[in-house]
Structure 1
Amino acid sequence: MPPRQPGEERTTQLPPVSRPTQREPELITHREPDDEFLMAGVADDDDDEYYDDEPELTEEEERRLRKKKIWKRVRIGAFVAIGLMILGPVVAVAIAYPLLDWPKPEEIAAEQNKTITLQYADGNEMTKITAPGENRTMLTYDEIPDNVKHAVLAAEDKNFYDNPGFDAKAIVRAVWIQATGGSSGGSGLTQQYIKKATRNEEATLTRKFTEVVKAFKMSNESDHNTILTAYLNTVYFGRGANGFKAASQVYYKKDMKDLTPSQAALIAAMIQTPSWSEDKEHSQKQWKYVMGQMLQKGWIDQAYYDSEQWPQPLSFAETQPKSLEGPRGLIVDQVQEALDAEQTGVSFEQAQKTGVTIQTTIDPKMQTAAEEAVDEIMIKGAQPEALKTSLTAIDPTTGAVRAYWGGRDGRGSFDYAKGTLQEPGSSFKAFDLVAALQDGKGLGTVYDGRSPRTFPGVSTPIRNSGNDNSCGKECPVRTAMIKSLNTVFYDMVVNDVGVPKTVKAAHQAGIPDEVNIGDGPKKLLVGEDGGTPNGGIALGGDQAVVRPFDMASAYATFAARGVYRAPFFILKITGPDGQVLYQHADKPISAFDPDQTKSQDIADNVTDVLKEIPTSSKIPCAGNRECAGKTGTHELSESAGQGAGLNSKAWMVGYTPSISASVWVGRNEGNQPIRDKSGANIFGSGVPGKIWQAFMNKALAGSQMEKFPKAKPLNQYNPPKPSNTPSNTPSNTPPANTPSNTPSEPTRPTKPSGEPCEGLLCPPTGPTNPSTSGKPPGRDPGDT
């Protein structure tokens, strides 16, 4: 074999070459550090294995690599989340769409306007409430006037014809507002129809999702005109009216075609909060908003907008179906008010649609006693027709309203128990006493009880009824309460305890901080500037205005020994299938002190003195039954020009351990004298006292004779021992703090019953000091 030439030897026999291993040229499958999107599916463990033969990375390189891996996972997660956000709802809607159906207006209308049955506390039927427009016919689109269409769209969804059943922008905006702590809805008119028709208003994502799907499906299967018609046939407008046709009757007693744009706007404005339909301030505000929206959309012109005033609707009494005549009709109103305010969790609208049975707190025996007592004194007693009255009776052990007499004209008429604010006069002194007991004073604490007395900042002296000086310079609080001495309580509140503490005591007893009455919410027991009232409140005048109903509740707190229970009218609500939808639960509150024992002692000390007053006022309860209470009068203001010493309001508020009752007597005009059939001035023990006495005797006849618990003496319970100096100052001798030039004052004659006038300023019948001037504290500047 010829010899091989160099280079022809077999390569397998070549000796190994010692040199570093080189990486192969990068293929398309090889990984570049920045090519993460193509390698998104490669596991991190593979990455680590791949680099096993690489030179060891520096710390900075490892940190950068970890950062890239983290961001890679974040981006992948973001891509997945965005995909789910886009595809998830689409898939959910696709699944839900064929399974959900929107409620048909004919079916909804058939479920509305069911009868509500009211029962007395003993389970016997009181009456039935039927809705306006019962058995109504369904409207067609062509029957709906443009005024009505425009008003409703302006109120609820002005872009209704431009959206697919829901307003996406409005929903997003509502979510953002709620997420940032605000309150807003995002429902368009179609969604609102679904919500109202299904009676499901839970604030849940599930409810909102199904609502949107149903609204979308309804828009696909019907046109906008059909949806608007369905909405106007079924939505609730307040006053018991479902559908705009019924609403036009209960607000204006007009057919829809006869409504002005302004009237249609007011009715449409009630859709959002129908329970506030009787709140004038709220109604005016919402009406103005709807009118503004109609102007913005060109549905009314600027001239019409500028010329229109709030179109006041007819009174509730004129438009409501009569379900119960006479005084008991106002009980029906109170039940509806409680439902509209959703105090029970069952709205009036829901009650109508369900056809519930409502067991009220009204005791038939006591209700009859209230009606007979009023008729006995007012009708059979031939009292002047101009005199108005109210009577409320509350069970102190529960807060249940057992009898309610707010007027005799029936449902929807003016309510003199909860619809009026009046000065309580001396019946407010019970709250003065609570504040004094809380402040360390007692029934034996003494004050200067002489009359008249001057006080700093008050130009006219404060006087006792009949200028009574019988209690003298060292007058115990107990005696001052029984005699109702103005000088003692004014001194005690203004110079000693303080007005704020008295206001607080009244609120603790049961006088609300705020009531919704007449033109809207009104704060009680506040000054003209919204702050602390002046000293006249000590005598139940000036800014001391209350509802007669609330005085019964506040005195019930004394009867319950310092435990406050909110008054209520509804005991239980039952569905047509017997299911209990609501049951009242007792919620006692220690009124005058967090320590119930201390609160009890305060209330018992108040009762200890008030139980002497019915007898001293010659209106005791029958059979020596223990009763406690306080009379009160409010004098006619100077501006009335009717003469000194005449009264414009008179009260009797009293209780036993089982019932508290408040009676008020006044006139519609307010600042006018109240005189009985003989023309005599009316005091607390007169007409109101006699109504109260008659009621208590009738209501409690045959019941157990109850005694008030013995009071635990608080603070200075007994007056100090008398000094050697005579305690009484003759009425014709000027007190030490009275100007020496004050002439002697004759004593004003009292009523035959012996009851003093108890007014805030009780001047004598003779001439007064001509040098005195200015508005006396506690005098009412006008009618409230």
Structure 2
Amino acid sequence: MGRADERRARQRGGHRGAPKRSSRAEGKTGKSGIRRFFTWKKILGTFFGVCLLGMAAFVGLYLMIDVPKGNAAAVQQSNIYKYANGDTLARDGEVNRELVDLDQVSKGVRMTFVAAENKSFYKDSGVDLRGTARGLLNTLSGKGKQGGSTITQQYVKNYYLTQDQTVTRKLKELVISLKVDRQQSKDAILAGYINTSYYGRNAWGIQAAAQAYYRVDADKLSVAQSAYLAALLQAPSQYDWAVASDTSKKLVKNRWNYVLDNMVEEGWLDSAKRDGMTFPVPEDPQGAPGLEGQAGYLVEAANSTLEKQLVEDGTASDMDEAATMVKAGGWTITLNIDKKKQAQLEKAVKAKLTSKLDGKKRDVDADIQAGAASVDPKTGRVLAMYGGVDYVKHFTNNATRRDYQPASTFKPVILAAAVDKDATTQDDDPITANTIYDGTSKRPVLDDGTKVGFSPPNEDDVDYGDVDVQTAMNKSINSVFAQMGVDVGMDQVMKTAGELGMDVEGVKSVPAQTLGTMGASPLEMAGVYATLDNHGKKVTPAVIKKVEHKDRAVKFPDPIGDQAISREAADTVTSVLTGVVDDGTARTSVRDNPSRDGQQVAGKTGTSDFNRSAWFTGYTPDLVTSVGMFGEDAKSHAQVTMQGATGLLPGKGRVNGGGYPAQIWAAYTFDAMGDVTRFDLDTKQGAAVKPTPTPTVTSTPTTPSAEPSTKDPTTKPPTTTSAPESTPEETPSEEDPTPTTSAPSSSGGIELPPDPDDPQSDD
């Protein structure tokens, strides 16, 4: 029966079945099916297809992924602040990093990093395919951190990407590394790598690391030291010698040897030099200098100075932009601050004032602030500055704040204007140190016989009668200088103040300004007196010595300017101010100081309305220092009286400029000065030279009276050339401060009535 018959039989329900196939035949049939599905051609085709798809995907990624903008945090730097001698003062910034160019480190130092991480760096295309593949597999299998990346890849990870361990990030790293290798030079990539890597000890970048581990700048690193830093990058925390276990110390030493041996192998290091190298044990770690104490005040003053200069030279359009540029970091700012003098000033303030304050015993003591600035009159350099008890406790810099009255420290400006402009009295007599004025308290000030509506009281309402200008300066007689200011012309007085260095913009030229009622800072007043000390040649206090930045240069103007007032005028004022020290309101604290050693000194005290501020600004031929004390409510920061501070009798214990401010000045100056010097003065006037036998005749009434005079001033010989024995300011000593009282003063051209509950003074 043929096959057709069999088929028909089955269809009819027949019982004859088809013969069974042999198992051998079945086996052949199954095998041929597998072969049809898994032929070598199909396997190779699939492999090449996957490769082509992978290549296409990579090309797509290459085209799609651009080199991103650098990660700002990766190059964020701190600002470095240094004393004049180069010692580090402080770092300001969240990241301890200072970028350096590759040419700032030796070739040997550079190659230690290449030997440690990527010997083929200068030959490869920027990627290690095997290392990257291994990293991808480790990531997919959960084995953690990849290894085998090139320097380029590590730089890309640091600067352009993140430290995340993801497949996406690693693919981006691969593509960007290839592009960066084509776009940047190998040196630029290496510089980026050593500047963005973390070395431990809060040190980012090779410069910070060099300082953190070896106390040197990057350009001073030896090959042995840099080999340790290069080895450190593998495990910064584990390999830090100061905290490493014995095992970790052994590991980092082995890696240090590995780096140096690679350098010899590559021909980058002479084998003989290598054999002579010993492991350079790092210095113990130390905390980065912070902004506590005076450091913050100095940093703030430096930043402010730099910001102003960036605006002045057109680098920044305004102060906001300048502040942003400074805060971006990367500045190395060397201040003119003398490290030794800074310490001496801090010591003097503590010894003479802050150690005596006790806010728990006396509420007023918590309201006392001190500020001081010290300037070299020949160069303008700010040698020392005291901003307050602690920058982190009191943010406002008391050395630069301008919200307190300088009081009678302004009186020398009036005399300077008078002498410089050959001013005359109401009777056309020249104003000199010997000119006689009426020192009657509350005597109305006259202008061409007309009252100007200003009748200032003297301190303690003392009437002095006829006195010469020298005596009036010694005893700080308000009525004399109020009349003198009008004699000179208040517009001219304020103009001279500006020429000497005071900021008088927007200040009204009214007689009340003769009492120093405008705002000023210790730094500002130090500059004014430095100009007097410098024979009238303008001195602008300079906080900054120089600044350095990777991307820009900033040049500061010469602190010594042109002649502001004549030498004769400046020297005359200096001569007169020696009398304030030797026979005036500063005699107790300065003249009689045992450390003076014969040093010639000029200076002026000042005590403002309601005893809210007290000053002493004084100078030697080589050093000018202004010290201020300020009453500032510890909570509201409002200006308050200082009466009763340090235990002086409340209501009577006035803090005078001849007291603590002068004591601080003397303690600092006589400690900081060098050889004893004398002023070289071009004048025939004042206490520093022999007085003329006959004083210039007066232009004001000479009969002292307890009541304000209403008569026009007349010209006649003086009835007296000295003041009453009672002085307007009793300067308290440290051991037994003498309480005094004060009389009210007027301001703004309107006479104010006394306030018995809040006495004023102006010495």
The aligned counterpart of 1:588 is 560
Question: Structure 1 residue aligned with 2:488, among 497, 513, 535?
Answer: 497
Whether the 8 Å contact between 1:437 and 1:714 is mirrored in structure 2 is no
Whether the 8 Å contact between 1:419 and 1:547 is mirrored in structure 2 is yes
The aligned counterpart of 2:277 is none
SS at match of 1:106: coil
Give the CA deviation at 1:501: 0.8
Is residue 2:704 matched to residue 1:704?
Answer: no
SS at match of 2:366: coil
Question: Structure 2 residue aligned with 1:341, among 297, 308, 311?
Answer: 308
- Counterpart amino acid of residue 403 in structure 1: A
User: Structure 1 vs Structure 2: percent identity of aligned residues?
Assistant: 27
SS at match of 2:499: helix
Give the CA deviation at 1:115: 2.9
Give the CA deviation at 1:454: 2.4
The aligned counterpart of 1:476 is 468
| Pair 408,105 (structure 1): closer, same or farther in 2 beyond 3 Å | farther
The aligned counterpart of 2:443 is 453
The aligned counterpart of 2:294 is 327
Whichever of the two has the greater Rg, that structure is 2
Whether the 8 Å contact between 1:459 and 1:775 is mirrored in structure 2 is no
Question: Structure 1 residue aligned with 2:501, among 484, 496, 510?
Answer: 510
Whether the 8 Å contact between 1:362 and 1:403 is mirrored in structure 2 is yes
SS at match of 2:350: helix
SS at match of 1:624: coil
The aligned counterpart of 2:609 is 635
The aligned counterpart of 2:663 is 690
The aligned counterpart of 1:675 is 644
In the TM superposition, 1:250-329 aligns within 5 A as: 323-329=290-296
- Distance in 1 of aligned mates of 2:567 and 2:754: 32
SS at match of 2:401: coil
- Distance in 2 of aligned mates of 1:457 and 1:103: 78
The aligned counterpart of 1:371 is 346
Cα-to-partner distance string for 1:319-375 (whole Å, 9 max, x where unaligned): xx9822112211111222223334496866666767343211110111111111111
Question: Structure 1 residue aligned with 2:420, among 423, 438, 441?
Answer: 438
Cα-to-partner distance string for 1:170-217 (whole Å, 9 max, x where unaligned): xxxxxxxxxxxxxxxxxxxxxxxxxxx9xxxxxxxxxxxxxxxxxxxx
| Pair 370,380 (structure 1): closer, same or farther in 2 beyond 3 Å | same
The total of aligned residue pairs comes to: 449
Question: Structure 2 residue aligned with 1:407, among 388, 403, 411?
Answer: 388
Unaligned runs of 5+ in 2: 1-64, 99-158, 160-287, 316-321, 359-364, 423-430, 633-637, 714-723
CA RMSD, aligned part only? 4.6
The aligned counterpart of 1:289 is none
Is residue 2:616 matched to residue 1:652?
Answer: yes
Give the CA deviation at 1:110: 2.5
| Pair 369,500 (structure 1): closer, same or farther in 2 beyond 3 Å | same
| Pair 453,108 (structure 1): closer, same or farther in 2 beyond 3 Å | closer
SS at match of 1:392: strand
SS at match of 2:374: strand
In the TM superposition, 1:131-170 aligns within 5 A as: 131=94
- Counterpart amino acid of residue 492 in structure 2: K
| Pair 666,356 (structure 1): closer, same or farther in 2 beyond 3 Å | closer
The aligned counterpart of 1:619 is 589
| Pair 761,737 (structure 1): closer, same or farther in 2 beyond 3 Å | farther
| Pair 609,355 (structure 1): closer, same or farther in 2 beyond 3 Å | same
- Distance in 1 of aligned mates of 2:615 and 2:574: 18
| Pair 601,747 (structure 1): closer, same or farther in 2 beyond 3 Å | closer
Question: Structure 1 residue aligned with 2:528, among 524, 540, 554?
Answer: 554
The aligned counterpart of 2:404 is 422
Question: Structure 2 residue aligned with 1:106, among 54, 63, 70?
Answer: 70
Cα-to-partner distance string for 1:101-139 (whole Å, 9 max, x where unaligned): 99832355422x22322211111221222247989xxxx
Is residue 2:531 matched to residue 1:539?
Answer: no
Give the CA deviation at 1:437: 0.7
The aligned counterpart of 2:730 is 751
Whether the 8 Å contact between 1:634 and 1:760 is mirrored in structure 2 is no
| Pair 351,370 (structure 1): closer, same or farther in 2 beyond 3 Å | same
Give the CA deviation at 1:488: 1.0
SS at match of 1:326: coil
Give the CA deviation at 1:461: 3.9
Question: Structure 2 residue aligned with 1:119, among 72, 77, 82?
Answer: 82
Give the CA deviation at 1:513: 4.0
Question: Structure 2 residue aligned with 1:608, among 565, 570, 575?
Answer: 575
SS at match of 1:358: strand
- Counterpart amino acid of residue 367 in structure 2: A
- Distance in 2 of aligned mates of 1:540 and 1:413: 26
| Pair 132,486 (structure 1): closer, same or farther in 2 beyond 3 Å | same
Give the CA deviation at 1:563: 1.2
Whether the 8 Å contact between 1:390 and 1:417 is mirrored in structure 2 is yes
| Pair 402,119 (structure 1): closer, same or farther in 2 beyond 3 Å | same
The aligned counterpart of 1:129 is 92
Give the CA deviation at 1:635: 2.1
- Distance in 1 of aligned mates of 2:326 and 2:654: 48
- Distance in 2 of aligned mates of 1:335 and 1:128: 12
Give the CA deviation at 1:537: 0.5
- Counterpart amino acid of residue 386 in structure 1: D
| Pair 359,536 (structure 1): closer, same or farther in 2 beyond 3 Å | same
Give the CA deviation at 1:685: 0.6
Cα-to-partner distance string for 1:667-720 (whole Å, 9 max, x where unaligned): 1131434333223111111121211121212222xx122211133237998474
SS at match of 2:608: strand
Whether the 8 Å contact between 1:469 and 1:728 is mirrored in structure 2 is no
Cα-to-partner distance string for 1:142-172 (whole Å, 9 max, x where unaligned): xxxxxxxxxxxxxxxxxxxxxxxxxxxxxxx
- Distance in 1 of aligned mates of 2:727 and 2:329: 63
| Pair 102,575 (structure 1): closer, same or farther in 2 beyond 3 Å | farther
- Counterpart amino acid of residue 656 in structure 2: F
- Counterpart amino acid of residue 555 in structure 1: Y
Whether the 8 Å contact between 1:634 and 1:759 is mirrored in structure 2 is no
| Pair 511,560 (structure 1): closer, same or farther in 2 beyond 3 Å | same
Give the CA deviation at 1:535: 0.8
- Distance in 2 of aligned mates of 1:657 and 1:722: 29
More displaced 10-residue stretch of structure 1: 351-360 or 648-657: 351-360
* TM-score with structure 1 setting the length: 0.50
Whether the 8 Å contact between 2:372 and 2:385 is mirrored in structure 1 is yes
The aligned counterpart of 2:627 is 663
Whether the 8 Å contact between 1:536 and 1:778 is mirrored in structure 2 is no
Whether the 8 Å contact between 1:394 and 1:659 is mirrored in structure 2 is yes
Whether the 8 Å contact between 1:635 and 1:648 is mirrored in structure 2 is yes
- Counterpart amino acid of residue 327 in structure 1: Q
Cα-to-partner distance string for 1:296-339 (whole Å, 9 max, x where unaligned): xxxxxxxxxxxxxxxxxxxxxxxxx9822112211111222223
The aligned counterpart of 1:357 is 332
Is residue 2:357 matched to residue 1:382?
Answer: yes
Whether the 8 Å contact between 1:369 and 1:695 is mirrored in structure 2 is yes
Give the CA deviation at 1:583: 5.6
- Distance in 1 of aligned mates of 2:79 and 2:665: 33
